[in-house]
Structure 1
Amino acid sequence: MKNEPLISIVVPVYNVEKYLQRCLDSLLAQTFNNIEIILVDDGSTDHSLTICQRNAETDTRIRVFSKENGGLSDARNFGISVARGKWVSFVDSDDYVDADYIEYLYTVLIKNNATMAICSHRTVYRSGKIRVNSYKGSPSIDSHTAIERMLYDDQIDTSAWAKLYPIQFFKNISFPKGRLFEDIATTYKTFLAANGIAVGSDAKYNYLFRDDSIVNKTFSLKKLDLIFMTRLMTEEVEKVYPDLHRPCKRRMLYAYISTLNQMNGITDHQNIRSQIIANVKKLRKPILSDRKAPARDKAAIMLICVSYPLYAKVWRWYLKLKKGEEISA
């Protein structure tokens, strides 16, 4: 590809020595040549920094930075601050990408004369099963459409990865330090800032589903950030697009139910659980009357309204089934 602009790939690194080399190998194999790979070691206590430095010695496209632990958002913000590229993409250090990941995103971007680009992704489970999340729809959409589909979890998600952004976006947008589910408070802002969004249906990003990841670990009160971040997002979205009130309600339902799922099997925080269940029940009427709301949401809200213990049992069965399923590309 002629006249390639420099594209920065920001990779936060924290205690991922088991997965890091696979991630780096996938980045070093990129068919798009003009890249810089910014590795931000966020105070790792394992051999992650050593792996970063060893790879940097053999490839000048890698730039390694080491800082005190500040969390994923802080590491991403730091990576952005030292990036030299005109465009930036984020890759998590336990994930990996196809060899044409960057080339595909940039080609889709240019072909559709867009401000930013998105590609589809695969979810890879520890069992080896793979679920492909493929986009279907127009290859060029506006911010309203992107946000509406994201609120409905309709093949466009809140993740920072699997996207290509102009670096200038992050002069006014930053990831919230010290919060979990930081992407929820950030990605929608990039959609709002975009004049046009290109979406590719091919899966080029591989997301590793880890039971031991921060999000999937045992419930703690920090995980209530999901509800807090979602509320911030929906409130701001409704100010810009008042007609998205109903999909915003659906997204809040998702945050409540996802938090209940995180609490499944624990006996602490009964008051919090009861309040979340009460909030779910308040959304019963608007969700059940929403034709665009996913069927699984409607099934979940009806089960919770009938019996939360029954819902919890069904959820455990569904999660086991989901992790074991295989959908071919």
Structure 2
Amino acid sequence: MADGAVTQAPSFVVSVVIATYNVAKYLPEFLASLEAQTIGIESVELIFVNDGSTDRSGELVGSWAAGRESHVRYIEQTNGGAAAARNAGLELVTGAWVTFADPDDVLDSRYFEEVEKFITLHARPDMAVLASHLMILDESTKEYKNSHALRAKFNKGSRVVDLLVEPTVQISGGTTFVRVSDLRSSGLRFDERVQPNFEDGHFISRFFLQTDTHLLGIMASAKYFYRTRQDGSSLIQSSQIKPEKYTTLLRLGFLSLLREAALLGPVPRWLENVVLYDLIWYFKNEMAIRSLTAAAPADRFDEFHALVGEILSLISKDAIRTFDLMGVDFIIKETLLFGYSSESREPEYVRIMEVDEARQQVHLSYVFAGPLSRSGS
């Protein structure tokens, strides 16, 4: 910048890019939560991107936006997915911070007031990422629950966390705020090839890596209510049967992140935790009584397991052993530690799973890798 040049101050403290696709059923509740903001929603820049909706989403947003042109932008594009819609919205952002709320969710009435309060209290140039408090909106009961698997990071209240000391996980675009000036400097955008989900976690992790920041602002009082749809129609819920979930996502999402980090130095523990958190859900879902992965395409499994092996080769065994951000069954950790290596492993102990006294039978379980030795049996 030339000497004497004046940098224009951001027009808003916070901008929100809202990728909108076939959410007419949920939009009235989301829009009502915007109108209920205690800070006054006119002080927040809202950019709706209608991503080729085929329901009344565009009509509802367009009608709501009319007369609010001072702080609301509405654009339309052919369907390209959430990442493409967010990238289009990012081009229009004029605020100092940007987040990516989803229009099927709901915001607490004090949401933006708490966000702006935190930004004012914790103004520091080396903190470029903030996390609001993700809670669950149970659609069947209409209750708000603090039951998300990653809720523990909010237990100590609002604070600034150093990820090199406390390697927590932040992967939700809806609850993440990034500093726009750092985003512009990095040139980073959502990778539209990462399908069918994890584009949020990929974007946020790359932002941390490319901006060389490791501070995360935890905003415990800014509550964001994530809707669990009763009909199972959300992208997260429906992605389990898509082939890309088992190939493209692992290759362009997890593996590309780890390789990028490895070029910069040792892979940081926080990134190992990000990948492990998402990867472990594949195995947790498989072990569930009603397995979400049971309908997954079997012809992708060989490639899936090959990719998992590559991913685990870039993650330390210590990261797997100590991972505790959610409950992980013993067998899953053993699988990640030994199931994808050439290392043989003899059973160290046998677990009694069930005793049938009537039949005089016992169900025993043990873990091994490689050929099972029969010596001493």
Secondary structure of 2:327's aligned partner = helix
Matched, 1:54 2:63: yes
CA contact (8 A) 2:51 2:77 kept: yes
Partner of 2:366: none
Shift of residue 73 of structure 1? Answer: 0.7
Render the CA deviation track for 1:163-216: whole Å, top value 9, x for unaligned. Answer: 322222332110011433211211123334247432122351111123211221
Partner of 1:230: 254
TM-score relative to the length of structure 1: 0.77
Matches within 5 A, 1:1-329: 5-33=12-40, 34-60=43-69, 61-114=71-124, 115=127, 116-128=129-141, 129-132=143-146, 133=151, 135-137=154-156, 139-145=159-165, 148-150=167-169, 157-171=170-184, 172-180=187-195, 181-192=198-209, 193=211, 194=213, 196-210=215-229, 211-217=232-238, 218-224=240-246, 225-228=248-251, 229-240=253-264, 242=266, 244=268, 248-249=271-272, 251-260=274-283, 261=285, 264-266=293-295, 268-269=297-298, 272=301, 276=305, 279=308, 286=317, 290-294=321-325, 296-301=327-332
Relative to 1, partners in 2 of residues 1:110 and 1:42: Cα closer, same or farther, differing over 3 Å? same
Partner of 2:351: none
Relative to 1, partners in 2 of residues 1:241 and 1:108: Cα closer, same or farther, differing over 3 Å? farther
Shifted more, 230-239 versus 291-300: the winner is 291-300
Task: Give the number of the structure with larger relative contact order, counting CA–CA contacts within 8 Å between residues 6 or more apart.
Answer: 1
Shift of residue 41 of structure 1? Answer: 0.4
CA contact (8 A) 1:249 1:287 kept: no
How many Å separate the matches in 1 of 2:145 and 2:319? Answer: 27
Secondary structure of 2:177's aligned partner = strand
Render the CA deviation track for 1:54-82: whole Å, top value 9, x for unaligned. Answer: 10124333221111111101111111101
% same residue: 23
Relative to 1, partners in 2 of residues 1:198 and 1:206: Cα closer, same or farther, differing over 3 Å? same
Shifted more, 235-244 versus 114-123: the winner is 235-244
How many Å separate the matches in 2 of 1:143 and 1:267? Answer: 34
Pick the structure with more helix per residue.
1
Shifted more, 137-146 versus 166-175: the winner is 137-146
Partner of 2:374: none
Relative to 1, partners in 2 of residues 1:253 and 1:93: Cα closer, same or farther, differing over 3 Å? same
CA contact (8 A) 1:73 1:176 kept: yes
Shift of residue 231 of structure 1? Answer: 1.8
How many Å separate the matches in 2 of 1:89 and 1:289? Answer: 31
Between the two proteins, the alignment pairs up a number of residues equal to 297
Relative to 1, partners in 2 of residues 1:240 and 1:131: Cα closer, same or farther, differing over 3 Å? farther
Question: Which of structures 1 and 2 has the bigger CA Rg?
Answer: 2
Q: Which runs of 5 or more residues in structure 1 are unaligned?
A: 151-156, 308-329
In structure 1, what residue type is equivalent to 2:161?
I
Relative to 1, partners in 2 of residues 1:17 and 1:189: Cα closer, same or farther, differing over 3 Å? same
How many Å separate the matches in 2 of 1:17 and 1:136? Answer: 34
In structure 2, what residue type is equivalent to 1:168?
S
Secondary structure of 2:28's aligned partner = helix
CA contact (8 A) 2:250 2:307 kept: no
